[in-house]
Every structure is written in C-alpha cells, then in structure tokens.
Amino acid sequence: MKNYSIAKSRRIRSTPYTSRIEKQGVTSYTVYNHMLLPAAFGSIEDSYHHLKKDVQVWDVAAERQVEISGKDSAKLIQLMTCRDLTKSKIGRCYYCPIIDDSGNLVNDPVILKLAEDKWWVSIADSDVIFFAKGLASGNKLEVKIFEPNVDIIAIQGPKSFSLMEKIFGKVITELKFFGFDYYNFKDVKHLIARSGWSKQGGFEVYVENTQSGLDLYDQLFELGKEFNVKPGCPNLIERIESGLLSYGNDFDNNDNPFECGFEKYINLDSNINFLGKDKLKKIKSEGIKKKLMGVEIEVENISLTGSLNITDNNGKLIGDLRSACYSPHFKKVIGIAMINKPFCKASETGKLEIEDKTLTVKVCDLPFI
C-alpha cells in the first residue's frame, strides 16, 4: 500500500516529545484528539515482539484530559457515565463508558478521581469537553471544565517495573493496577498511574511540568539501556490480540455499550442518575440487535483503512469488520467486527471482499486471549 505523508499544522498539534521521537525513528503518525500520536517506529510486528519482552516509552500526550472540578463535579461526571461511581475513591482510575441521551457511546475514558470535587477524564478520540460543557450549561451545574496542560508518557512492557523502580524506588512497584499516586522526580511531583493501553503491564506519567517531563523522558532512555528500552506507541497487533477496544475504530456514537460488551460497567439497578439510563433499560429488556465479536480471516495479511462489509453466503450483509491485523501469536489474521443477530455467535461464518478476493470469515468470542 502506498504511503501518504501527514501535513502538520497547529490544528493537529505536536507534543512536547515530538522532536525527541522524530530523532528516535518514528515513521508514521495518526491523529488523536487533534494531536499527533505516533503509530509506528518501523515494523509494527517487530515493535509488538519487543513490547511483549522488554520495555517501551510511549508519547501518548494525545490522551488528553478534561478537568472537571467544583461543587457539582461528581454529579456531572456521574451524569455522563453508566458506571456507578458513588463508591469511587480518590487515587483510583475508573474505565467508564460515556453515554448520550440515546444510550449510545460518546467515548470510553479512564476517569481519575483527584479529589471529591476534582476529576480528570482521560479521553479516547472525541471532544468530551464540549459534551461536558453542554451538559453543565443545560443543567446549570456549578463546575469548571477545561483541558489542563497534561502530556502523558507511558512506560509499557514487562520490564517497565524494573525501569520505573530504578528511577522512583521500590515504592512505585507497590502501586496497584488502576491506582495512582504522586512521586518525585528530581524534586518535581508527578502523578503516576499503573495503567496503559497494552496488556503487558506498566505505568502512565501524567506530566504537568513539561520540562521535568522531558528530563524524565531522557532519563527513562538513559537508565533503560540495561532493559533494552525502545520508543514505541500503542501497538495495533498487541491491542487486538488483547481485546483492547478503540473508540472510533471498533465502536462509535452509533453503538451502545451492550453491543460492545461493556455490561460490567453498566449499573442500571442503582439509584444513580445518568444520561440514556431509560434507553439502556429498554435495550436490555428487548435485547441487542448486533454485537462486537472477534473474527478469524483466511488470508496471509491485512491492512485495513476503514470498515469492510461481511456478508453471508447469499450476499446478505451480516456485519462489518472494523479492525484487523496478522497475529503472530495465533499465526493467522484476526479482527474485531460488529456482527448482526443472529450471526453474532462463535463459529458462524461469513465472507468479505478485499482487493477482488473473497475471503472466509469465522466469528469467535472476544477477547481472543
């Protein structure tokens, strides 16, 4: 497939780390929350093997924060998500589907509770800030909403723990999964969470002090040599194998959380008030009409640039393929597809056409591993 260059501008802005990753060999970008997000440093498959074995440092500044603070902040946060946050704790991260009035998805951020009246919504690729502002204004809520100057560095991979211990001491290894706390790097305090967009383990540093973040970035590479540290980015293969869903790729504002397998984050029985609650109750009682499923595709390799229709043997549309890659682990092409009823169950088969070839598609359960 031919490569096209990305036209940079202030509108799809660089991060504090961009000049560094360009010296380190980034080859490809995507755009995420109006910002550059590295998509490859050469071979994605090589990077996948490295991520599963050693440690990588990622420029994920494009994971922007929406800061919501003030008297009614907890009320607004709860209004936006179907996950019950009444028992949420300061110092914890919560994966929360954001839902609109129709019961459809707006985003799937991780929400950090910084204080009883202060939250960071660490967003996937859609402008949650304007949804929050619209809701706050319409409901006359006393809140302050803005995008703070936070540029995340992720440290991912099995050796991330050793590397981070070398910099922050043993205390950092005691942080629990989806917990966060504050740690000093050369006298500057950084919020660090045990989280990240891979299943290989690791941390995310929410950098507010840009200069200190740049120093930390350099230090990670300096002290990481013994762990074979490399620059990296969210890896298409690793995230599909691990079943990490991507807003905009695997689901969007035309899909509801039941269709995406988010049942455990939908609390319909609690007394909380959130958007789309009645719609979700109705969907639950009537049942869903389509569902995100895994697929295996009989082909050597694949490179997806958009949705691909999946049909049954009579040519009837039964779903669409949304993400796919060759999986070194399964030694076959796997993907994530939205499949209509009654085809959305394991072992159903369908077909798809790509570059004039007709390929067989086998439906399977998610996650793959």
**The binder of a second copy chosen from 137, 149, 173, 228 (CB under 8 A):** 137
Element (H, E) at 48: helix 44-53
Q: How far apart are CA 288 and CA 295, in angstroms?
A: 19
Near a second copy by CB under 8 A, which window of 98-106, 113-121, 183-191, 201-209?
98-106
Interface with a second copy includes 34 (CB under 8 A)? Answer: yes
Interface with a second copy includes 30 (CB under 8 A)? Answer: yes
**The binder of a second copy chosen from 106, 114, 150, 310 (CB under 8 A):** 106
Q: Is 91 left (phi over 0), alpha (psi -120 to 50) or beta?
A: left
Q: How far apart are CA 191 and CA 151, in angstroms?
A: 11
Interface with a second copy includes 268 (CB under 8 A)? Answer: no
Count of residues in contact with a second copy, rule CB under 8 A? 55
What are the Cα distances from residue 285, in Å, to 69, 102, 288, 340, 341?
A: 36, 15, 9, 18, 16
The least distance separating a second copy from the CB of residue 279, rounded to whole angstroms, comes to 12
**The binder of a second copy chosen from 128, 163, 334, 339 (CB under 8 A):** 128
What are the Cα distances from residue 36, in Å, to 15, 16, 17, 139, 248?
A: 7, 11, 10, 34, 16
Interface with a second copy includes 323 (CB under 8 A)? Answer: yes
Question: How many CA atoms does the CB half-sphere of 364 hold within 13 Å?
Answer: 16
Across-strand partners of 213?
Answer: none
Considering just the CA atoms, what is the radius of gyration of the chain in Å? 21
What are the structure tokens assigned to 334, written together?
A: 């796997």
**Phi, psi (rounded to 5 degrees) for 150:** -125, 125
135 touches 273 (CB < 8 A)? no
Contact set for a second copy, span 53-72 (CB under 8 A): none
The least distance separating a second copy from the CB of residue 17, rounded to whole angstroms, comes to 13
Interface with a second copy includes 134 (CB under 8 A)? Answer: yes
Interface with a second copy includes 311 (CB under 8 A)? Answer: no
The least distance separating a second copy from the CB of residue 92, rounded to whole angstroms, comes to 26
60 touches 197 (CB < 8 A)? yes
Interface with a second copy includes 3 (CB under 8 A)? Answer: yes
151 touches 61 (CB < 8 A)? yes
The least distance separating a second copy from the CB of residue 174, rounded to whole angstroms, comes to 36
Site string for a second copy, 271-290 (x = CB under 8 A): ----x---------------
Q: How many residues does the chain have?
A: 369
The least distance separating a second copy from the CB of residue 141, rounded to whole angstroms, comes to 8
**The binder of a second copy chosen from 227, 247, 258, 343 (CB under 8 A):** 247
What are the Cα distances from residue 165, in Å, to 86, 162, 169, 202, 300?
A: 33, 5, 4, 11, 41
**The binder of a second copy chosen from 20, 24, 31, 362 (CB under 8 A):** 31
Near a second copy by CB under 8 A, which window of 20-28, 57-65, 164-172, 193-201?
20-28
Interface with a second copy includes 127 (CB under 8 A)? Answer: yes
The least distance separating a second copy from the CB of residue 47, rounded to whole angstroms, comes to 13
Interface with a second copy includes 253 (CB under 8 A)? Answer: yes
Query: What are the residues binding a second copy (CB under 8 A)?
Result: 2-14, 22, 26-31, 34, 39-40, 100-101, 106, 125-140, 147, 246-249, 253, 275, 304-307, 322-323
